[in-house]
Amino acid sequence: MKKSSLMKKLTAAPYLVWAAIFIIVPLIFVLIYSVTDADGSFTLQYISDIGKYKDVMLNSIWLGFIATVISLVIAYPLAYIMARTTANVQRTMMILVMLPMWMNLLIRTYSMMILMQDTGIINSVLTYFNLPNLHMINTQGAVVLGMVYNYIPYMILPLYSIMSKMDMNLIEAAGDLGANKIVTFKDIILPLTLPGIASGFTMVFVPSVSTFYISKKLGGNTFSLIGDVIEMQFKSANNYNLGAALSLVLMVLIIICMMVMNRFTGDDDDGGVLI
């Protein structure tokens, strides 16, 4: 018995070696590059250079945060409606929500650009109804809308999955015991769906903050996000050390945001992480 269990454990060995070389070591490289210069000698210059990008970073976090909150607010009712319909309707709606995710992100973003252009389809429709045109493209609002559009399925799915497991009798019981809709929502539905909110929040926030394609296409050259700056260091400016330093900060910032988020969603499901 012992021999076979050792043999079984060894089946994990290739993965462990792989993870060490291709997950851990690359992150160590990011760390090393961020504290060395092009010649490979130690310097803190790039870490201190990050200060110059403080505004870009704060703006990225801010836009990512707004996009995540908007996603949550509009996804929540949809997930709730989905969870309360019949099995067949649920299945169809799941497909409908997931289908856009299989379209390439670049193509979806490009289509959004076409919709939002000054002479684009939305404005053509507005002109047709004699309404004033909207200037949307190359604004921060357009970038936020692009983030919401691209990542909202990642918010709907965890919310839906937790809501479909929720015991609907609890809601009725709350009603029977005299709670109005607002109280039922605040005291029953919201606490029960917190884990779904937390995972949806993470899944939308992380890609939104670090995006570079969406901001490039929908934001034009009017402003850049942290992802744009990092991409530039690696693809055109060839300043790997600064790029590594910025990535390091991005990583740390996201870890901090996640920790705050976990604190915020209560202690119930933290147990698994802490112990």
Partner 1 sequence: MKRKMPLSSKLYVALMMLFLYAPIVVMIFFSFNSSASTGVFTGFSLRWYEALLNDEATMKAFRNTLILAVSSSFVATVMGTAAAVGINIFKNKHIKKLTMGVTNIPMMNPEIVTGISMMLLFIFCSKLIGKNDALGFGTMLIAHITFNLPYVILSVLPKLRQLDKFLPEAAMDLGCTPVQSFFKVVLPSISTGIFSGLMMSFTLSLDDFVISYFTQGPSFETLPIRIFSMTKKRVTPDMYALSTIIFVAILLLLVLLNVSQIYGEKKMSNKLNKGKGAQG
| Residue numbers 96-135 binding partner 1 by CB under 8 A | 96-100, 102-108, 110-112, 114-115, 117, 119-121
| Contact of 189 with 171, CB cutoff 8 Å | yes
Q: Which stretch binds partner 1 (CB under 8 A): 48-56, 84-92, 175-183, 190-198?
A: 84-92
- Using CB under 8 A as the binding rule, whether residue 8 contacts partner 1 is answered as yes
Q: Which of 39, 55, 85, 197 is close enough to bind partner 1 by CB under 8 A?
A: 85
Q: Is 27 helix (H, G, I), strand (E, B) or coil?
A: helix
- Using CB under 8 A as the binding rule, whether residue 158 contacts partner 1 is answered as no
| Separation CA 19–CA 23 (nearest Å) | 5
- Using CB under 8 A as the binding rule, whether residue 164 contacts partner 1 is answered as no
Nearest Cα residue to 58 out of 223, 202, 214: 223
Q: Is 84 helix (H, G, I), strand (E, B) or coil?
A: coil
Q: Longest C-alpha distance within the chain, in Å?
A: 80
- Using CB under 8 A as the binding rule, whether residue 182 contacts partner 1 is answered as no
H or E stretch covering 71: helix 54-83
Q: Is 203 helix (H, G, I), strand (E, B) or coil?
A: helix
Q: Which of 217, 219, 224, 242 is close enough to bind partner 1 by CB under 8 A?
A: 217
List C-alpha distances in Å: 176 to 168, 169, 184: 13, 10, 11
Q: Which stretch binds partner 1 (CB under 8 A): 23-31, 126-134, 136-144, 181-189?
A: 23-31
Q: Which of 74, 237, 259, 260 is close enough to bind partner 1 by CB under 8 A?
A: 74
- Using CB under 8 A as the binding rule, whether residue 168 contacts partner 1 is answered as yes
Q: Is 1 helix (H, G, I), strand (E, B) or coil?
A: coil
- Using CB under 8 A as the binding rule, whether residue 173 contacts partner 1 is answered as no
- Using CB under 8 A as the binding rule, whether residue 185 contacts partner 1 is answered as no
List the structure tokens of 41: 């000698």
**Closer residue to partner 1 in complex, CB, 145/197:** 145
- Using CB under 8 A as the binding rule, whether residue 23 contacts partner 1 is answered as yes
**Closer residue to partner 1 in complex, CB, 223/240:** 240
Number of chain positions touching partner 1 (CB under 8 A): 84
Q: Which of 35, 69, 81, 189 is close enough to bind partner 1 by CB under 8 A?
A: 81
Q: Which of 161, 213, 220, 239 is close enough to bind partner 1 by CB under 8 A?
A: 213
Residue type, 133: N
Mutual orientation of helices 190-209 and 54-83 as an angle, nearest 10°? 140
Q: Which of 35, 240, 261, 262 is close enough to bind partner 1 by CB under 8 A?
A: 240
| Contact of 110 with 125, CB cutoff 8 Å | no
